[in-house]
């Protein structure tokens, strides 16, 4: 079996993706073919003894699309090209600018009093401006029509082209025949609105690949390699090989995966693990590329390069999840599979029936034009984009950024919400929660000594102590002979007394007498808090407990979700004891603990396998695969850019309460979209027979079509009144 990935150019709607997917899956030797509209990408599993890559490409080409094979440099160049999106935007703007005066001149029946060839100048302006909009800005629709005719296929673009061209040619005929009842504004308005919707869709598709691009940018570009003679050289990361020795200085990004050969340090792995506390590294410990070396000098031996690294694996998981997650079939495109051919048949039959029954070809042509105009899917095209536009504006005001229409449908069906712990339910930044002094000491004295030492350290736990002391306006003491013991603590001299601040195991090994305070320490640790001791010489002065504080509205959010019968799960890289302690505070009964970055997407998939719709809420780089895997990814706007790009929605204020608003807004918005599609189709269903029978002339048909568009827009505007 062989796997092939290639880009498909020219897809504009879900029916395009479905058609190509069906064509590929129908080929002998193809095991599975998935066409992803968001990425404009086909992923095919096939038996290369039965079918060739050329045959796969030809199946797509025969449908009227172009194929672009992935290269090494373009492997992750997914989604809509920026130039293409910009081009659609400019065409939409031009179409709207020109269509407005055409509509005003036509609807107000304005006469300018200047005549050419017996027609008022206003009519010629309608003809010229309308023609530019219909033919020039709408050229892609007409070229698509020719392409579909060549391959005997049709989609919603077919009706757009036929409807606007019908209005175009009929209007020019009327202009020279009688000069009355022109329909240029109909074709121009249809073209402008459809182009606007096309731009919104292209823009949302273009964001799909940003997560992968940003992930790839995380890795170091160069590495400091140690030669055999001990000298150093700066080399591109591509030249680093397994077995090479690399030197990493404090503050530098670790270039690639390996093991520590010499040195000790604390490493910030939050970019990969999402956990805020640094991890102590010593000889023999594994170390990962894209993480940050904090305070020590490390020499490592490279153990993995290229696709074998942890960062590369995360990229792979995100990429695969995006490919496998097929876009939701838009209802309008589902309808088009039946609707388009039927309308074409009705229009042709209308001309024939009128001609053969009455001999009146003119009436037959007028009725056929009316059929195409009333059937032109302006309302169907507006149904989703207008609701998205209003919902996006409403959501943004309330701190919820909606990125695509698919997220709306998925969000409306969510049954389980999985929260990543760090930075989502918690602040993601350690703070001092408790200070427990020994009987002979005061809280202020314990904190002052700890502050005096910790202000000299760059450790996040030290920063928590510093922030606490400064908030209480406690003055520090001047110390000397400061020493940082990586992974253990710090020590210094205050006069002739030796002060130590660090973990209790280290203090005990240093000869500090802990007394009866170990019980209090155990209780604090059971509450998921990190405990450090403060010692003067060999006597423990007290304990300082540090924890990642729970966000103010986390508990209320979880309670509200559970009240709505939504299952709530907390996911964390912490050990089970710590995870359960935090979950208990939050009111969560289900905890997924010790989940590695590579395992987060799998954990989501496991719950999805229970036939449940899952939303995942996260903020870290390590959350990107899970955000993509979930039916709905909710990224905290206070988190990383990668998580934000991978998520289907962004909670811009970083508040868990925004999860509630996001889910409620999705339910309301998708309900509006379904209503829009229903009423838009009802207009067609009711009006098409009337048009075919001659009860609707093209201008009335255009009015009915405009009315259907107005109803869709008005219904969408109800989302402005959305409240939690």
CB 262 within 8 A of CB 247: no
Active-site residue, 434 included:
no
Spatial separation of the C-alpha atoms in residues 395 and 433, rounded to whole Å: 35
End-to-end CA distance of the chain: give it in Å, rounded: 51
| Backbone angles phi and psi of 454, in degrees to 5 | -70, -20
Spatial separation of the C-alpha atoms in residues 236 and 256, rounded to whole Å: 12
Nearest to 136 by CA among 75, 89, 95: 95
Rg (C-alpha) for the chain, rounded Å, is 33
Spatial separation of the C-alpha atoms in residues 231 and 235, rounded to whole Å: 13
| Helices and strands (H, E) in the chain, number of each type | 25, 28
Report how far Cα 61 is from the mean position of its chain's Cα atoms.
30
**SS3 (DSSP) at 506:** helix
Burial of 648 (0-12, 13-18, 19+ CB in 10 A): buried
Contacts of 279 (CB under 8 A, 6+ apart): 266, 267, 269
Spatial separation of the C-alpha atoms in residues 153 and 307, rounded to whole Å: 42
| Backbone angles phi and psi of 222, in degrees to 5 | -135, 170
Nearest to 242 by CA among 175, 160, 322, 300: 300
**C-alpha torsion sign, points 134, 135, 137, 138:** positive
Task: Identify the H or E element spanning 96.
Answer: helix 82-107
The CA-based angle 249-250-255, given to 5 degrees, is 55
Catalytic residue among 157, 333, 420, 619: 420
* Helix, strand, coil % over all residues of the chain, rounded to 5: 50, 20, 30
Beta bridge partners of 574: none
3-state secondary structure 113-174: CCEECCEEHHHHHHHHHHHHHHHHHCHHHHHHHHHHHHCCCCCHHHHHHHHHHHHHHHHHHH
**Residue 539 — left, alpha, or beta (φ > 0 → left; ψ -120 to 50 → alpha)?**
beta
Spatial separation of the C-alpha atoms in residues 609 and 692, rounded to whole Å: 50
Tokens 């939690």, residue?
A: 724
Nearest to 41 by CA among 76, 2, 82: 76
CB 642 within 8 A of CB 684: no
Task: Enumerate the active-site residues.
Answer: 420
């Amino acid at each position: 079996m062989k796997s092939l990935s290639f880009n498909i150019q020219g897809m504009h709607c879900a029916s395009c993706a479905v058609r190509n997917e069906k064509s590929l899956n129908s080929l002998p030797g193809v095991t599975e073919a998935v066409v992803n509209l968001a990425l404009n990408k086909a992923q095919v599993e096939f038996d290369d003894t039965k079918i060739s890559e050329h045959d796969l490409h030809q199946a797509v080409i025969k449908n009227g699309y172009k194929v672009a094979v992935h290269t090494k440099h373009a492997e992750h160049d997914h989604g809509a090209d920026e130039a293409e999106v910009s081009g659609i935007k400019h065409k939409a703007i031009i179409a709207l600018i020109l269509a407005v005066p055409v509509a005003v001149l036509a609807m107000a029946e304005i006469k300018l009093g200047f005549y050419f060839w017996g027609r008022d100048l206003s009519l010629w302006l309608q003809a010229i401006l309308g023609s530019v909009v219909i033919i020039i800005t709408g050229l892609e629709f007409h070229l698509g029509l020719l392409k579909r005719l060549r391959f005997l296929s049709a989609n919603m673009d077919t009706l757009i082209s036929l409807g606007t061209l019908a209005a175009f040619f009929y209007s020019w005929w009327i202009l020279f025949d009688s000069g009355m009842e022109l329909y240029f504004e109909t074709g121009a308005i249809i073209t402008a609105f459809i182009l606007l919707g096309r731009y919104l869709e292209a823009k949302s598709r273009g964001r799909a690949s940003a997560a992968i691009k940003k992930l790839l940018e995380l890795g170091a570009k160069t590495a400091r390699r140690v030669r055999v003679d001990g000298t150093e050289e700066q080399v591109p990361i591509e030249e680093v090989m397994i077995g090479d020795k690399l030197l990493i200085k404090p503050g530098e990004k670790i270039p690639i995966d390996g093991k520590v050969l010499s040195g000790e340090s604390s490493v910030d792995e939050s970019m990969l693990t999402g956990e805020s506390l640094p991890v102590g590294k010593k000889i023999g410990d594994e170390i990962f590329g894209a993480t940050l070396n904090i305070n020590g000098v490390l020499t490592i031996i490279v153990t993995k390069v290229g696709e074998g690294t942890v960062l590369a694996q995360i990229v792979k998981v995100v990429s695969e999840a995006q490919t496998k997650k097929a876009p939701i079939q838009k209802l309008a495109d589902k309808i088009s599979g039946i609707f388009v051919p039927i309308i074409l048949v009705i229009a042709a039959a209308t001309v024939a029936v009128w001609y053969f029954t009455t001999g009146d070809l003119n009436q037959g042509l007028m009725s056929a034009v009316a059929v195409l105009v009333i059937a032109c899917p302006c309302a169907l095209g507006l149904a989703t984009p207008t609701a998205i536009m209003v919902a996006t504006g409403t959501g943004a005001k309330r701190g919820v950024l909606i990125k695509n229409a698919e997220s709306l449908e998925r969000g409306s069906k969510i049954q389980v919400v999985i929260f990543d712990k760090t930075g989502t339910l918690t602040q993601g930044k350690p703070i001092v929660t408790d200070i427990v002094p020994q009987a002979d000491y005061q809280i202020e004295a314990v904190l002052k000594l700890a502050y005096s030492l910790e202000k000299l350290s760059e450790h996040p736990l030290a920063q928590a102590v510093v922030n606490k002391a400064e908030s209480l306006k406690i003055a520090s003491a001047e110390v000397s002979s400061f020493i940082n013991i990586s992974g253990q603590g710090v020590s210094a001299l205050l006069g002739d007394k030796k002060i130590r601040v660090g973990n209790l195991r280290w203090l005990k090994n240093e000869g500090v007498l802990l007394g009866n305070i170990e019980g209090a320490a155990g209780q604090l640790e059971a509450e998921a808090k990190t405990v450090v001791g403060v010692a003067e010489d060999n006597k423990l002065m007290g304990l300082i407990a540090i924890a990642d504080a729970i966000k103010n509205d986390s508990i209320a959010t979880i309670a509200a979700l559970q009240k709505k019968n939504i299952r709530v799960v907390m996911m964390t890289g912490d050990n089970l004891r710590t995870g359960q302690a935090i979950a208990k505070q939050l009111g969560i009964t289900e905890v997924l603990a010790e989940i590695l970055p590579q395992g987060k997407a799998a954990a989501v998939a496991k719950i999805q396998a229970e036939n449940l719709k899952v939303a995942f809420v996260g903020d870290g780089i390590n959350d990107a695969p899970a955000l993509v895997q979930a039916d709905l990814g909710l990224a905290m706007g206070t988190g990383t850019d990668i998580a934000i790009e991978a998520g289907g929605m962004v909670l811009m204020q970083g508040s868990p309460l925004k999860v509630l608003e996001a889910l409620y807004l999705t339910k309301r918005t998708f309900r509006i979209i379904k209503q829009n599609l229903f009423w838009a189709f009802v207009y067609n269903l009711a009006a098409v027979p009337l048009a075919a029978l001659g009860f609707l002339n093209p201008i009335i048909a255009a009015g009915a079509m405009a009315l259907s568009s107005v109803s869709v827009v008005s219904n969408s505007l109800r989302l402005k009144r959305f409240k939690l």
